[in-house]
Amino acid sequence: MDFVSPEAEFRDFLANGKFMIQRCRTSGRYVFYPRIAEPGTGDTDLEWVAPSGRGTIHSFTVVMQRPPKPAYNVALIDLEEGPRLMSRIVGSNNDALEIGQEVTAEIEPGEEEEPVLVFRPTGSGV
């Protein structure tokens, strides 16, 4: 049996339009980034599950580039299920972003059409 890395599995899910994270069957804790064992316990009984896709902005920064390239953001997102991940926020002016703001996951084409996970502000204040 060939070994497929958890990262490769995650990217395959994205390529098929699915945002999936791991959950330990024993503890019930959610795990992100993709791994072969649960941090802290070493338990390898991990399953792939679909998260709610909802989260909040924990922190963000705006990266300024030399014109004509536009500025872009890099954000830490706290998923409703618990894990924190790094991503980008789309669909909003960088000046309108706020820590604690609610966001929802989306999958978009990235460089060379490889899909990437991004987040879009939801609710009021979008």
pLDDT (mean) for 13-36: 97
User: What's the number of domains the chain is made of?
Assistant: 2
Task: Tell whether 126 and 64 lie within a shared domain.
Answer: yes
Domain of 91 in residue numbering reads as 52-126
How many C-beta neighbours within 10 Å does residue 72 have? 14
pLDDT tens digits, one per residue of 34-64: 999 999 999 999 999 999 999 999 999 999 9
Task: Tell whether 35 and 88 lie within a shared domain.
Answer: no
Task: Tell whether 74 and 46 lie within a shared domain.
Answer: no
Kindly give, in sequence order, each residue whose CB lies less than 8 Å from that of residue 113, ignoring residues fewer than 6 positions away. none
- What pLDDT is recorded for position 124? 55
pTM of the model: 0.90
The answer, yes or no, to whether residue 107 has pLDDT greater than 80, is: yes
C-alpha 18/C-alpha 11 separation (Å) is: 9
How many C-beta neighbours within 10 Å does residue 24 have? 19
